[in-house]
Amino acid sequence: MLLVSAAWCHAEPVRAEPAPDESCDHYVAREEREFLAEHPGATPAELERYLAGERRECVVEGTTDSGRAEDYETTTRSGAATSEAVPQSSTRVERRDIEERMPRSSPDALRYEPGVYVQQTAQSQGSAYIRGVTGQQTVMLFDGIRLNNSLYRQGPNQYFFTVDSHSVASIDVTRGSGSVLYGSDALGGVIEAHPIEPALAEGLHGLRLSPRTTLRAGTADDEIGGRFELDGQIGDRLGFIGGVGYRDVGLLESGGQIHDSVSKVYSGGERELVPRYAADGRTQLGTGFREATEDARLVYRLGEDTRAVLAIYDYRQFDAPRTDKCPPPFAPAGECLTYEEQFRALGYLALDTDLGRFARGARVGLSLQRQRERRRMDRPASIVDPQYGRDTVLTPGLTLRARTSPFRLWKRASAAIAYGIDAYRDDVSSVAWYEVHTERNDMLVYDSRGQYVEGSSYTWGGAFANLETTMWERLHARAGVRGTRIVAFSPEEPGSETSEIDRGWTSFVGGGGLAWDALPGLTITVNLDQGFRAPNLDDLTSRQQAGPGFQFENPDLVPERSVTLESGVELQRGPLRLAAWGYRMTIDDAMARRVATPEDCPKESQDCRGSWFAYQLMNLEGTAEVVGFEGLAWTRLPLGFSARATVAYARGDGPNPASRPEGSATDWEERVPLSRVPPLNGTVELLWRAPAVGVYLGAGLRWAAKQDRLAPQDEGDARIPLGGTPGYAVLDLRAGYRLGRRLGLALVAENLGDAAYRTHGSSVNGPGRSLMLSAELGL
């Protein structure tokens, strides 16, 4: 049965193929009918997963050489969802979506997903908020391997940006807690990118090589770049795919400036909105970057159910200014914080195999990830120029996942158990220094510590089991549990008055859900899941200029724990799919920033004491909560048209991190909004495709309401206008043509209304009216 065989399996059931002259939509509709006929009890989620594969295959068939479809037979794992049987609120971005929408990055590829809101601290960064949380509170995976490490910062950062969208076949977004499967951090959701796979046709002898070149240009930021990709096969067992890419991105021109919506004599010190603009009032300083990527993936078929994968993905970003610090508010124009190097390399060896009834679809993976960040602060008027910081974290990892064959619980109930273990260790190197280069001097002076403490480490391991059952064919249930042990170590550093940290946490979380197929195509689901996030090294040890101010360490933090109750209704009938989910996530001991006084700062941290705003993370006393909903509607219309709409809302509140001040005349409130929770937002898309001739046209509208529910720290954040971030509506048009694998053209006319807009919490405004063009040539 599909629901218990797909997860972590490397192969889907054998699929049909579209007739040569059959349109994709027609083909998929036919497959839908046949699937429902064969699986009358299938849930909408099962149907959608099946059809997703069919759509993908159809598109691939329409776009690639014969045999290319097999690329995808290994990419349709279960994704990040907690269970095959009991759905969570999840969606998938397909390769075709990426090619047509032409996102600027992997996070950007998620902009049309319900409940996902992409904020950017810089043009070269992007972080997906899922259900109101991001960064450390979501888990990112690449081919099942965890990307999160213990230096992940709290805010919208560059982490998922370092996944090259050209190397991605699809991205799954699962909203809701995933801590049972993925451990710490998976409070708000899970994002998993699936890499493109080499075509591996059976029966091939000799060598097959299929090169492909993609070129891309954009007018808003003078982007120009490309990728050369080689897909090949040697014999009928070894396939490989790899590529190299490069792009150069210039200053980003927006639709205009964003302003405070209220005027206020500001009592907390000066503030100034970022970014700063060039003389035209539209082009944003502190944007632009260069990027080089390389990846190689070898797949060796060891048997019918077994394959080995050796892969490396190397992302290198150069000279990417942090927009809100380039220049910092009020600073001279030449001052700029630049990420000279933002590198991430991931290599892994994985074995996908079937070891019998107790270990179906098993995967064993050994991985090594290296993240390196080198920052340069330019202050041209100073003799201390530049200042540097460099942080490196090396993360070896081990994952083992498998599931049992379905077994009978009783006459009308079957079950399967998914289980696994995982272990990772981060070893951190961190230094900071400044240089003086004058006619008299040429010297380098090291600080006593970097943003983190040299020699820190973070080790964690865990094990989980997840039972999935189907009863009376229409009732599905799951129940899972995970145990995790995390140890954080940071040595003492007397010069900076940094205390040693040697702490450990053991955490158990559980979760379960029920799904009822009330009617054919209609499923009602209720899930209750715990989540947790242990404080990481960034929380425990970092000293850094964050968006709203200087953040210094709190070595006494404890894990935050969440409980998510969600309910969803999914309807899949004919050409219509509807999904609506509501949720409430409560977080105990939530980590939030409190405003600190200069006296609270470490004595040796002059930059902390000198900041307008200093912050320290603390565990909130009481319960924070995020409540919200997300919805998706998709329908297939006549004449090749289809329409899709999403909507999402989240409202976050928590105990006020600040103590009640003395005296009665105060506007202090017991509960305050959580920081940077996205506003009500959504998308609308209308598409027309003519697969027979390879043409498509489309329009996409992204909109967001004003967000004026601001946390106390947001009011000092130079990224957020006083009075809140204005709402917006941005219309894009798309068009494209594809002639199999040989030629592909895509055009996006972005922001037709030339709206001045920014996603809430971002430093950088969205592109103004502009064009993006992509051309693909292949053999």
The residue from 39, 370, 374, 379 that contacts other proteins (CB under 8 A) is 379
Shortest separation between residue 416's beta carbon and other proteins, angstroms:
55
Q: In this structure, what token pair is assigned to residue 486?
A: 């995390």
> CB 380 → other proteins: shortest distance, Å?
8
Residue type, 289: F
How far apart (Å, rounded) are the C-alpha atoms in residues 52 and 12?
Answer: 12
CB 277 within 8 Å of CB 241: no
Cα–Cα distance measured from residue 368 to residue 530, given in angstroms and rounded to the nearest whole number: 29
Counting contacts by CB under 8 A, is residue 381 touching other proteins? Answer: yes
Is residue 502 a contact point for other proteins (CB under 8 A)? Answer: no
Rounded Cα gap, residues 674 and 683, in angstroms: 24
Residue 40 touching other proteins (CB under 8 A) = no
* CA-wise closest residue to 676 among 704, 700, 703, 701: 704
Give CA–CA dist 436/445, Å, rounded.
Answer: 8
| Residue 270 within binding range of other proteins, rule CB under 8 A | yes
- Residue 323, interface with other proteins (CB under 8 A)? no
DSSP-based three-state secondary structure for 345: strand
The nearer residue to other proteins, 266 or 358, going by C-beta atoms, is: 266
Q: Which is nearer to other proteins, 348 or 550 (CB)?
A: 550
Measured from the CB atom, is 184 or 551 closer to other proteins? 551
User: What's the closest the beta carbon of residue 55 comes to other proteins, in angstroms?
Assistant: 51
Find the binder of other proteins among 377, 428, 515, 720 (CB under 8 A).
377
Measured CA to CA, the distance from residue 448 to residue 434 in angstroms comes to 12
Nearer to other proteins, 33 or 264 (CB): 264
CA distances from 359 to 132, 180, 300 (A): 36, 19, 20
Radius of gyration of the chain (CA): 25
202 binds other proteins (CB under 8 A): no
Binding segment toward other proteins, per CB under 8 A, in 138-146, 174-182, 430-438, 748-756: 430-438
The 8-class DSSP code of residue 186 comes to T
Nearer of residues 215 and 658 to other proteins, judged by Cβ = 658
Q: For residue 337, how many other CB atoms are within 10 A of its CB?
A: 23
CB-nearer residue toward other proteins: 408 or 441: 441
Binding of other proteins by 374 (CB under 8 A): no
Residues 6+ apart with CB under 8 A from 287: 122, 123, 124, 221, 249, 250, 251, 252, 275, 321, 323, 764
Strands 189-195 and 138-142: parallel
Which of 205, 303, 597, 639 contacts other proteins by CB under 8 A? 597
Q: Find the binder of other proteins among 66, 261, 506, 606 (CB under 8 A).
A: 606
Measured over the CA atoms of residue 262, residue 264, residue 266 and residue 270, the dihedral's sign is positive
Q: Is 610 in the site for other proteins (CB under 8 A)?
A: yes
For residue 560, the one-letter residue type is E
Complex with other proteins: residue 506 or 606, whichever CB lies closer = 606
State the DSSP string of 451-506: SS-TT-EEEEEEEEEEEEEEETTTEEEEEEEEEEEEEEEE--BGGGTBPPEEEEEE
195 cis-preceded (ω within 30 degrees of 0) = no
- Tell me how far apart the alpha carbons of residues 715 and 725 are, in angstroms, rounded to a whole number: 11
**Would you state the structure tokens that stand for residue 470, as one six-digit string?**
């189907």
Q: Which residue has the tokens 């497959």?
A: 31
Instruction: Say which residues have a Cβ less than 8 Å from residue 4's Cβ, sequence separation at least 6.
Output: 84, 85, 403, 405, 406, 414, 416, 468
Number of Cβ within 10 Å of residue 421's Cβ equals 12
**Residue 516 in the binding site for other proteins (CB under 8 A):** no
Choose the binding region for other proteins from 65-73, 261-269, 559-567, 571-579 (rule: CB under 8 A): 261-269
By beta-carbon proximity to other proteins, the closer residue of 211 and 661 is: 661
Contact of 483 with 463, CB cutoff 8 Å: yes
* Of positions 333, 518, 519, 558, contacts other proteins by CB under 8 A: 333
CB 1, CB 469: distance < 8 Å: no
Q: Which is nearer to other proteins, 43 or 611 (CB)?
A: 611
Judged by CB under 8 A, which stretch of 12-20, 231-239, 590-598, 682-690 contacts other proteins? 590-598
Query: Measured from the CB of residue 768, what is the shortest distance to other proteins in angstroms?
Result: 22
- Please state the closest distance from residue 591 (CB atom) to other proteins, in A: 21
Which residues in the 431-460 window bind other proteins by CB under 8 A?
Answer: 434, 436, 438, 440-441, 443, 445, 447
The stretch near other proteins (CB under 8 A) out of 228-236, 466-474, 599-607, 622-630 is 599-607
Is residue 382 near other proteins by the rule CB under 8 A?
A: yes
Shortest distance in whole angstroms from residue 377 CB to other proteins: 7
To the nearest whole angstrom, how small is the minimum distance from the Cβ of residue 552 to other proteins? 12
**Is residue 611 involved in binding other proteins (CB under 8 A)?**
yes
CB 24 within 8 Å of CB 58: yes
Rounded Cα gap, residues 635 and 90, in angstroms: 17
Under rule CB under 8 A, residue 753 binds other proteins = no
Regarding 387 and contact with other proteins (CB under 8 A), the answer is yes
268 interacts with other proteins by CB under 8 A: yes
Q: Token pair for residue 90?
A: 């999840």
Nearer to other proteins by C-beta: 436 or 735?
436
Q: Is residue 267 near other proteins by the rule CB under 8 A? A: yes
How many Å apart are CA 314 and CA 142, to the nearest integer?
13
For residues 556 and 618, what is the distance between their CA atoms, to the nearest angstrom?
Answer: 8
Cα(226)–Cα(175) distance, integer angstroms: 32
Cβ 727 to other proteins shortest distance, Å? 21
Return the number of the residue (445 or 690) whose C-beta is nearest other proteins: 445
* Residue closer to other proteins (CB basis): 37 or 265: 265
Q: How far is the CB of 484 from other proteins (least distance, A)?
A: 36
- Check residue 330 for interaction with other proteins (CB under 8 A): yes
Q: Which one of residues 33, 259, 264, 412 is an interface residue with other proteins (CB under 8 A)?
A: 264
Residue selected from 35, 505, 612, 737 as contacting other proteins according to rule CB under 8 A: 612
Please report whether residue 265 would count as binding other proteins according to CB under 8 A. yes
- Tell me: does residue 666 bind other proteins (CB under 8 A): no
Q: How many residues bind other proteins (CB under 8 A)?
A: 45
Positions that interact with other proteins (CB under 8 A): 262-270, 327, 330-333, 335, 377, 379, 381-384, 387, 434, 436, 438, 440-441, 443, 445, 447, 545, 550, 595, 597-598, 601, 606-614
